[in-house]
């Protein structure tokens, strides 16, 4: 652990379990409001650790370590920033009176695709793709036949597209099953077999729950549209270009799912638009990577919303101030202590901001930074962000 100097006289403290780029923005927003911050992750020099008051490096699946740190720090709010956490420890801590954001059960449910799909499709009743579950190659083969080819296999627990495998025929099922489970986080060996649909576009409906006076209010923001050329986020923009009827349906599904999950804070609800179908896909119980665009587009970013909700601070109506777009900077290979070229050229484009995350190492397709741009139109903002990101090279 590295000890820093806490803020004198400060009465609020947040602790992040997971210290990636999303956590880094939350720490920055918290410190602007005079909140003490503690960052925890499995590796040293994670992005949020570089700006937090204190840090801990531990195995995030070690429940005893998580319990010991939280009891020692006694924060006002514990924010789950990643999926791979010992959720049993979070449940125990919540039972002991610690505020887990959004809540321990929501974190547990959202990190498990099986539990989440059952909640959304079977309990809440929002539309989803056809799906089935499988824990062996034989079960996967049967599930693929039921769902139909082509179909997708996804690990029970993963994120950012890890372990998503497209299966076109019965002969590919066994190899695809083992490839998918090899990317699972934790010990999960179950996959979800999902209908493959033609994706026209995807939306993230940022939906937050906060104390609006005497009761909890649920609010949706202007949907964010995004593209995933593969299974990972590359580009997002706000406002979206879909028609109002699609937005209304997407927001309705988001509210229904988020209210069932409960708790406080912002959720990133992922929606697929395929023809006239609007389908719930997944939800993150925290700020969403596609929501990095809100650093430029909104008067209150998703990160500040999450911190405010976690600490019971007011959140007035959030406004979209300008069309904006984000475009990620992806690593092409493994590098330790990477450096970046042409940042000055990217910054010479009006309306462009560059956010390098400060990750100590890279691997292929790892997200190392993001370019955010605003413009008079979404198309202008997207073009600026694409151009700026293409200029930045990593070595």
Catalytic residues: 159, 161, 270, 282, 289-290, 367
- Cβ atoms of 193 and 153 within 8 Å: the answer is yes
Q: Is 330 annotated as a binding residue?
A: no
Q: Is 270 annotated as a binding residue?
A: yes
Q: Is 364 annotated as a binding residue?
A: no
- Cβ atoms of 270 and 211 within 8 Å: the answer is no
Q: Is 365 annotated as a binding residue?
A: no
Element (H, E) at 211: strand 201-212
Question: What is the tally of helices (H) and strands (E) in the chain?
Answer: 12, 22
Computed from CA positions of residues 51, 56, 60, 66, in that sequence, does the dihedral angle turn out positive or negative? negative
How many Cα atoms occupy the beta-carbon half-sphere of 139 within 13 Å?
Answer: 13
Q: Is 379 annotated as a binding residue?
A: no
Look up residue 75 and give its two tokens: 């924060």
Question: 308-347 burial string, b = 16+ CB within 10 Å, else e?
Answer: bbbbeeebeebeeebbbbbbbbbbeeebeebeeeebeebe
**Distance, CA of 154 to CA of 176 (rounded, Å):** 10
Q: Is 21 annotated as a binding residue?
A: yes
Q: Is 22 annotated as a binding residue?
A: yes
Element (H, E) at 302: helix 302-311
Q: Is 179 annotated as a binding residue?
A: no
Q: What is the DSSP letter of 7?
A: P
Q: Is 366 annotated as a binding residue?
A: yes
Q: Is 197 annotated as a binding residue?
A: yes
Q: Is 289 annotated as a binding residue?
A: yes
**Distance, CA of 240 to CA of 114 (rounded, Å):** 29
Look up residue 137 and give its two tokens: 């190659």
Residues at the annotated binding site for Mg(2+)? 270, 282
Residues at the annotated binding site for ATP? 113, 154, 194-197, 202
Residues at the annotated binding site? 21-22, 81, 113, 154, 194-197, 202, 270, 282, 289, 359, 366-367
């Amino acid at each position: 652990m590295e000890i820093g100097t806490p803020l004198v006289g400060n009465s609020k403290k947040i602790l992040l379990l997971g210290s990636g780029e999303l956590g880094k923005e939350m720490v920055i927003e918290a410190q602007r409001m005079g909140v003490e911050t503690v960052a925890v992750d499995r590796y040293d020099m994670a992005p949020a650790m570089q700006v937090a008051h204190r840090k801990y490096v531990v195995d995030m699946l070690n429940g005893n370590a998580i319990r010991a740190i939280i009891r020692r720090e006694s924060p006002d709010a514990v924010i789950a920033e990643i999926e791979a956490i010992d959720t049993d420890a979070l449940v125990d801590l919540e039972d002991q009176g610690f505020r887990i954001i959004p809540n321990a059960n929501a974190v547990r449910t959202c990190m498990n695709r099986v539990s989440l799909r059952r909640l959304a499709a079977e309990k809440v009743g929002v539309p989803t793709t056809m799906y089935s579950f499988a824990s062996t190659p034989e079960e996967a083969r049967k599930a693929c036949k039921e769902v139909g080819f082509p179909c997708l296999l996804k690990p029970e627990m993963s994120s950012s597209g890890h372990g998503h495998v497209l299966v076109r025929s019965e002969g590919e099922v066994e190899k695809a099953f083992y490839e998918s489970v090899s990317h699972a986080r934790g010990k999960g060996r179950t996959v979800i077999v999902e209908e493959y649909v033609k994706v026209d576009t995807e939306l993230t409906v940022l939906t937050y729950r906060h104390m609006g006076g005497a009761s909890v209010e649920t609010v949706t923001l202007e949907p964010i549209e995004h593209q995933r050329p593969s299974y990972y986020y590359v580009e997002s923009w706000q406002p979206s270009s879909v028609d109002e009827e699609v937005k209304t349906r997407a927001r309705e599904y988001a509210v229904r799912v988020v209210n069932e999950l409960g708790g406080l804070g912002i959720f990133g609800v992922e929606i697929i638009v395929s023809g006239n179908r609007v389908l719930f896909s997944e939800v993150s119980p925290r700020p969403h990577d596609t929501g990095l665009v809100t650093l430029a587009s909104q008067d209150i970013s998703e990160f500040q919303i999450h911190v405010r909700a976690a600490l019971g601070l007011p959140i007035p109506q959030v406004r979209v101030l300008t069309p904006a777009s984000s475009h990620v900077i992806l690593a092409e290979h493994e590098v330790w202590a990477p450096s970046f070229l042409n940042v000055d050229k990217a910054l010479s484009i009006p309306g462009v901001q560059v956010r390098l995350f400060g990750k100590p190492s890279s691997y292929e397709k790892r997200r190392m930074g993001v370019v955010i741009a605003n413009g008079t139109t979404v198309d202008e903002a997207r073009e600026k962000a694409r151009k700026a990101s293409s200029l930045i090279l990593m070595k």
